[in-house]
Structure 1
Amino acid sequence: MGTVPVAEPAPHRPRCGQRDGLRTHALPARRPRVSVSRLAGSPAGWWLTLLSGAFAAAVGAGFTLRLGFLAAAAAAAFALASGLVAAAARLRFRRPAVLLAVLLFLGIARGGGAVLQPAPDRIDGHLGERGVVVTGAVRDAPLLGAADVIVDVERLTDADTDAAVSGALLVTGAAMPALSPGDRVEIDASAIRAPGRRPGPRSEAALEREGVQALVTGARVTILRRAGPSPPGVLAWVQRRLVTAVNAVLPEPTAGLLLGIAFGIRQPMSPATRAPLQDSGLIHIVVVSGLKVVLVVGMIAAAARALQWSRRRTLLAAAPVVAAYVLVSGAGPAAVRSALMAGAAFLGRIAARRVDPLPLLAVLAAAMLGIAPALAKDPGFQLSFMGTAGILLLAEPLARRLPGPRLLAEPFAVTVAAQLATVPVMAGTFGVVSLVGPFANALVLPLLPVLIVLGTGGAALSALHPALGWLPLQLAGAGTGVTLGIAGTMAALPGAALRLGSWPLSWSLAELSGLCAGGFVVLLARRNTTAGMRRRVMAAAAAAGVAVASGTGVATAAPDGVLHVTVLDVGAAPAVLVQSGSGALALIDGGASAPLLLQALGRATPPWTRHIGLVVLTGGEQAAVAGLAAVAGQYSVGAVVEPTRLNPGAEAVITMLEAEGASVIQAGTRPWTWAGASWQCLTVSAARTGRAECAVSVGDRTGRVLVLGDVGTADEEELAGLYPAQLRADVLVAPPGGALAPVLLGAAQPSSVAVPAAAHAPALPLPAGYSTRRTAGDGDLAFAGGPTGLEEAT
């Protein structure tokens, strides 16, 4: 054996596979250790997260706030100036600051440019109550148990128009023919209206993510031509087969709930079923969320490990399964985001690269918003990304500190993390924050993989033959019953849910700015932080977050100086909430139901509001004042303005408010000033009762509203004769049902008409040319003042 020269280094056997507990085959033999992702907790990863998140936030702000080119330029200039100031201390921040300014400019420009205004060539440019015929192609056909169909409009014909029109229309009705995607249909409707803001599947927020600009109700639908085979048609057929298979074996509400758990297929759900799920924090299990896609991927990965498949074969097997699951569920943003993240993780493992989820999440958010800015107003998108971010940042630290078995501690930590991050969206969208959600999810989440396997397998087998899927569907139904039982038990606990009514935008802005400030402090100190300094850095980040959040909250919660008017949805009666430019609140009438008025005030005002400065009654009828009984004991009232000759029931309510400290003033015909706005009671003698009725006119430099109360048509004609100059208003609040005299409409010349619901009476049509909103379909109607008067609030 020869000797080894001293100048030649001895051979060295690589041991990278033995370090850090890795198997010898964890990395390819010829790939150096440094090839493991530089973005795994590196400064580059944090900068990618910051820049992608800034672009996504800019797109969302531009679309939601309808910002234009000047706002984009101002945001970019601010970011650039801030970056240059930081660069004076540390020069390496110069390039990221310039890039941040460019991304902010492009994001706001992209979001603001995606806002589409109503136009004659779009369906939302033809809103109104009149006979109209629309032709188009079916985009989304109704499933069993549903009666909604989305039609891509091609042409519109009415008494004045026969033109090509674009846009999407939601058609609802009980007598809907069997339709498939691609069918050409003719829709004969009596009115086209804009989607309402009342939460639900037909709300503006829900329909906006589907690209729907208008809707018709009770229309007659005629099939002009059937569509041939197409991918959407095949997908609709598969969904109908699954729904039929499950409904044939299981009763409601178990069948509908299992379809939601297993496939995310939405089915009509009664309030008795939805309320416990919502109050217990389990409502997310009936939609395809990122959690379910992760569970599906995890089950495929577990099967692949048992079969000893390679990573490449696992990816090839998982990709079509996950894609089919996402498509059957409707391809919502949460499912798409999770599928993309899972695919990126699989690709990273095949390439022996570790994929850091936080930068990947920010990049996906930026990409999806860049492609479809309307997702910024989609609660599903918001919940998906904010919840995932909360889980990534908070779940693991929480789980490490929780005692008990991991099977319960980990779901509990995941739920707490997701709930903390999504409080603004949950409160703003549903008005409810579940306090028992972490405990309910800790019990239910371990059951989800079993329910998904049994539900999907049983439905697929039952679609082939009912006998094949009977047993797994029965087992899945039993598990679904256990889930409903847990939801009902948790929701019945005292203090199970916190009902906030409304979540002010200022709170969301404060939370976002505080998180950004704290994250920026952590980012700056991350590179040079030793173990002993981590607590100080986290304390500084927390202090910066609290300080910035408090300042933002105070600044954004200040009164904006314009008049705000909200026609409350309190059932079949009028109730109008007025906020002056100084922030003072006044209530005109209170409706007939005390509980409904209390709920409406909770929706329209911040949780801390407990004072109403002025209450004005338009008449002495019970339907207008009975709801005010809810105000006593819940809100303090400064003064009550009442007409003469109240009925005994109304007198009792006023006496109750007076006992609580309110002063009572008799209404006259002379105008008065309160909280910076001018008020006037335009009094007439009601033809039906002989009592005094008054139409209330309220206005300032930013707009004027006229509230007619419950006056009849004959009284409206008398008003037009007595007060022709005082009736002018931007917004006219009609009597319940919408009965309006043409002479009064001519005197008021409103740009918008708000119609409260009427009891036991159909809604009356209004003349063409007026923007009409109804509480019966749209919920609370909000208007805000501006340079051109009161306009519908966005």
Structure 2
Amino acid sequence: MTAIVLGSAWLIGIYLGSLVSLTPEASVISGSMAGLVAILVRREPALRLGLFCVAALLIGSVRYQLAIPTVDDAALQYYNGQGTVQVRGVVNSDPELRDKRLSVVVEAEQASIDGQWRDLKGSMLVYLPRLSHLAYGDTLELTGRLESPPVFDDFDYRGYLARQGIHSTMAYPRVRVLGNQGVAPLSWIYAFRKRLSQALDTALTEPQASLAKGILLGIRTSMPQPLLDAFSRTNTTHILAISGWNISLVVSFLCLVGGKLLGRRQMLAFAVGGILLYTTLIGPQPSVVRAAIMGTLLVAASYLGRPSDAIAWLAIAATGMTALNPLLLWDVGFQLSFVATAGLALLAPTFQSRLSFLPTWLNESLSATFAAQLATVPVLASTFGQFSPVTFVANLLVMPAMLPIMLLSALASVVGLIWTPLGYLPASLDWLFLSYMIGVVEYTASLPLASIAIAGFSFVLFVPYYAALAFLFLALRPLPISAPRPQNLTRAVPFGRVILVLALLVALAWATVFTMPRDELRISFIDVDQGDAILIETPSRQRILVDGGPGASAVMSYVGRRVPYWDRSIDLVALTHANEDHLAGLVEVLERMEVRQVLEPGLPSNSLTYRRWLELIRVKNIRTTKARAGQEVDLGQGIKLQVLHPSPQTVRDIETDLNANSVVLRLVAGATSLLLTGDANETAQRELLGSGQELASTILKVPHHGSRDGLIDSFLTAVDPRAAVISVGKNNTFRHPAPETLAKLKDVRVYRTDENGSVEVTVRSEGYTVETER
């Protein structure tokens, strides 16, 4: 109880420190005096505890004020917005590979000011091309513009980074690697984490691989945004955050192994060391650190034979973490982790006693779900402005799959490091559980009223809400042991296992149905944000992918859902041109799938992405054809893919203009045809008009995302489409599609990926149909 009271006083002191500016000297002196008097007052426990609380409160307020950085010319953030600067520093953590870029945290050491290198302090977040080769411990010299992190309408990104000690950003600077001074054990751990992640990428298709990495390794950066949105709408994002559940499983495994192989004393060191290693492996997020501290206390209490007190341990963890970083008190991850854990500790036993008539598996699942969700409602509502009525059902259905997913993902990744084919055995089972979880989350997220907007839920409402929850806790506190309980005749039957097995069989059946090829031609314009990616699936079981978009997650997730788990082949990958918004996603396709042939312009480019593209083609020995007008690919059953552009003459004349040399393809299936134009500009369109080739097509993929000069009138007249598709990103900075282009298409049925999501065209003998994602 003492730890809880003192911890609460400490946290209140930190919060008051953000509201009231007290001089650190006065607060320290007052707090020290209160603590000294408390030590002397031994015969009055209540007074003694009260004085210690005053001391904790005052020192907590001082700790907050000391955490606010001083901004002077020795601070890195002082130079934000002051033009181009040179900074030297060290990469202080594992670089984060995101969908479209590499994010690196650099601890600055020096900056060139007026031509002289001066020492300074501060951390910055640096954005670099996705394929940049950097590692923890690298010493860098960066030349670029320092900027303050932005504050968005719906998210305080500046505050989010400030809580991590980051007050500056630098986008795509010039980089020079000076050396490496990383701590060797950390370098080994980060390298091992990367290899585990790559093993899961190899063993699983998308989006299952990304979900497995999130659950096992805490890596969420490769997950497609629509899937993340589904988890958010159902309030199941806690599944993707390493927390107490994951740590408890690790603790159980370590204690089991340590107990079998080592003595009692050695088991304690083994378990604590394992917790520290796993925490370092997945990264010190607030929920992870909280769970690691409580897991360590649990092991220590078990070793010492002391009773466990989850709330006291929670208070100790909160005090220790905020002592190191007081700003964590405003971190939503920190808040959710502690509130949910408190709810589980206090409310779950109450619900379990009242639901004892249910089967044990259902009782425990329902109780944990109700406890955690009821405890976190105010935090979720005030932070995200939403409440999910389906969250109870979604959590109840997906949580039983968590244990097999974590175990099978760990087994697949570790075994895959030893021998890749062996990793496919546990991965095939893992894929089934992962597919089940994805299906449940996406289905419940699609239900009406899956998420209800809650406006104006302020901090003021926290007090009455938690007061009502406390009343519920007292009113429904666990029944005494002597009280009669309803007889549970169903516990002998493993209903939980039966239901989970049946659900998995249903998931397998549906997954098989959806991934099996169909006897019809399907063309999917994939929503990849601001870029192009088109998947063609033919009745003769051939797959053609035209472009891959600006990042890997969208195209890999879409293709992964459309191909059977056991067949990861693409018959032809066509690159229209080497711009990032068409090429970047294809690099991962080449890395992770079996590509039989590549069709591309064959024009030079110095980008990192294109160099990696060529390297993969060479290493994997993929047959490559330079696309030139007049070529034709027979796709069977009368379906043909014609290459209309570029012509050999165009390539010779304007080799450096990628858009003018963009590959243009025409897919012909009976009376239906589609013209896939890439980013063909006015020069390319006029070249096509003068080529004498057949341009008339049923559906037009509008060139260059519908830009203002992307579609000339005479070209549109020659194509004369009945429908048009514009592949474009929502709220893109280019303001595509342009009003002028949309005006030209006023008599054509237009589909846009920013509004309609992915667009699927199905061609049959009697014509075609169009279905959209939304």
TM-score, normalised with respect to structure 2: 0.56
What are the within-5 Å matches in structure 2 for residues 387-402 of structure 1? 387-402=340-355
CA displacement, residues 520-555 of structure 1 (integer Å, 9 cap, x when unaligned): x99xxx9xxx99xxxxxxxxxxxxxxxxxxxxxxxx
Contact 2:14 2:61 (C-alpha < 8 Å) held by counterparts: yes
What are the within-5 Å matches in structure 2 for residues 45-194 of structure 1? 46-62=1-17, 64-65=18-19, 67-69=21-23, 93-128=46-81, 130-145=83-98, 147-157=102-112, 163-174=118-129, 177-194=132-149
What are the within-5 Å matches in structure 2 for residues 250-289 of structure 1? 250-289=204-243
CA displacement, residues 545-602 of structure 1 (integer Å, 9 cap, x when unaligned): xxxxxxxxxxxxxxxxxxxxxxxxxxxxxxxxxxxxxxxxxxxxxxxxxxxxxxxxxx
Return the match for 2:248 from 263, 288, 294: 294
When residues 271 and 380 of structure 1 are mapped into structure 2, their CA distance, relative to the original with a 3 A threshold, is same
Shift in Å, 1:430: 2.6
Return the match for 1:361 from 302, 314, 322: 314
When residues 515 and 375 of structure 1 are mapped into structure 2, their CA distance, relative to the original with a 3 A threshold, is farther
Shift in Å, 1:72: 8.4
Structure 2 regions of 5+ residues with no counterpart? Answer: 482-730, 737-774
Match of 1:494 in 2: 448
CA displacement, residues 740-767 of structure 1 (integer Å, 9 cap, x when unaligned): xxxxxxxxxxxxxxxxx996379xxxxx
Distance 1:119 1:515 in 2: 48
Contact 1:432 1:498 (C-alpha < 8 Å) held by counterparts: yes
Is 1:340 equivalent to 2:293 in the alignment?
Answer: yes
Aligned pairs, how many?
A: 474
CA displacement, residues 761-785 of structure 1 (integer Å, 9 cap, x when unaligned): 79xxxxxxxxxxxxxxxxxxxxxxx
Distance 2:379 2:441 in 1: 21
Return the match for 1:243 from 175, 191, 197: 197
Shift in Å, 1:191: 4.1
Amino acid at match of 1:395: A
When residues 504 and 159 of structure 1 are mapped into structure 2, their CA distance, relative to the original with a 3 A threshold, is farther
Match of 2:303 in 1: 350
Distance 2:57 2:6 in 1: 9
Contact 1:76 1:104 (C-alpha < 8 Å) held by counterparts: no
Task: Give the stretch that moved more between structures: 364-373 or 90-99.
Answer: 90-99
When residues 76 and 442 of structure 1 are mapped into structure 2, their CA distance, relative to the original with a 3 A threshold, is farther
Amino acid at match of 1:760: F
When residues 270 and 235 of structure 1 are mapped into structure 2, their CA distance, relative to the original with a 3 A threshold, is same
Shift in Å, 1:280: 1.5
Is 1:426 equivalent to 2:426 in the alignment?
Answer: no
Distance 1:143 1:104 in 2: 37
CA displacement, residues 599-653 of structure 1 (integer Å, 9 cap, x when unaligned): xxxxxxxxxxxxxxxxxxxxxxxxxxxxxxxxxxxxxxxxxxxxxxxxxxxxxxx
Distance 1:198 1:254 in 2: 32
Counterpart secondary structure, 1:331: coil
Counterpart secondary structure, 1:467: helix
Shift in Å, 1:284: 1.1
CA displacement, residues 32-87 of structure 1 (integer Å, 9 cap, x when unaligned): xxxxxxxxxxxxxx23311222212322442x44743399869989x99xx99xx9
Amino acid at match of 1:397: T
Counterpart secondary structure, 2:307: coil
Distance 2:336 2:131 in 1: 33
What are the within-5 Å matches in structure 2 for residues 737-756 of structure 1? none
Amino acid at match of 2:4: T
What are the within-5 Å matches in structure 2 for residues 178-217 of structure 1? 178-197=133-152, 203-217=157-171
Match of 1:483 in 2: 437
When residues 203 and 71 of structure 1 are mapped into structure 2, their CA distance, relative to the original with a 3 A threshold, is farther
Return the match for 1:449 from 380, 385, 403: 403
Question: Percent of aligned pairs with the same residue?
Answer: 27
Structure 1 regions of 5+ residues with no counterpart? Answer: 1-45, 532-756, 763-794
Counterpart secondary structure, 1:293: helix
Match of 2:647 in 1: none
What are the within-5 Å matches in structure 2 for residues 544-563 of structure 1? none
Distance 1:158 1:371 in 2: 32
When residues 496 and 114 of structure 1 are mapped into structure 2, their CA distance, relative to the original with a 3 A threshold, is same
Amino acid at match of 2:306: R
Contact 1:311 1:349 (C-alpha < 8 Å) held by counterparts: no
Distance 1:211 1:515 in 2: 37
When residues 198 and 412 of structure 1 are mapped into structure 2, their CA distance, relative to the original with a 3 A threshold, is farther
Distance 1:233 1:101 in 2: 44
When residues 515 and 107 of structure 1 are mapped into structure 2, their CA distance, relative to the original with a 3 A threshold, is farther
CA displacement, residues 675-731 of structure 1 (integer Å, 9 cap, x when unaligned): xxxxxxxxxxxxxxxxxxxxxxxxxxxxxxxxxxxxxxxxxxxxxxxxxxxxxxxxx
Shift in Å, 1:114: 1.6
What are the within-5 Å matches in structure 2 for residues 615-764 of structure 1? 760=734
Counterpart secondary structure, 1:147: strand
Contact 2:93 2:136 (C-alpha < 8 Å) held by counterparts: yes
When residues 269 and 129 of structure 1 are mapped into structure 2, their CA distance, relative to the original with a 3 A threshold, is farther
When residues 49 and 93 of structure 1 are mapped into structure 2, their CA distance, relative to the original with a 3 A threshold, is same
Contact 2:28 2:59 (C-alpha < 8 Å) held by counterparts: no
When residues 758 and 262 of structure 1 are mapped into structure 2, their CA distance, relative to the original with a 3 A threshold, is closer
Counterpart secondary structure, 2:83: strand
Distance 2:213 2:154 in 1: 22
Contact 1:462 1:470 (C-alpha < 8 Å) held by counterparts: yes
When residues 182 and 302 of structure 1 are mapped into structure 2, their CA distance, relative to the original with a 3 A threshold, is closer
Distance 2:469 2:75 in 1: 39
Shift in Å, 1:159: 5.9
Match of 1:3 in 2: none
Distance 2:261 2:92 in 1: 43
When residues 510 and 59 of structure 1 are mapped into structure 2, their CA distance, relative to the original with a 3 A threshold, is farther
TM-score, normalised with respect to structure 1: 0.54
Counterpart secondary structure, 2:164: coil
Distance 1:411 1:347 in 2: 28
What are the within-5 Å matches in structure 2 for residues 488-527 of structure 1? 488-501=442-455, 503-508=457-462, 514=467
Distance 1:248 1:56 in 2: 45
Distance 1:75 1:318 in 2: 41
Return the match for 1:222 from 176, 180, 185: 176
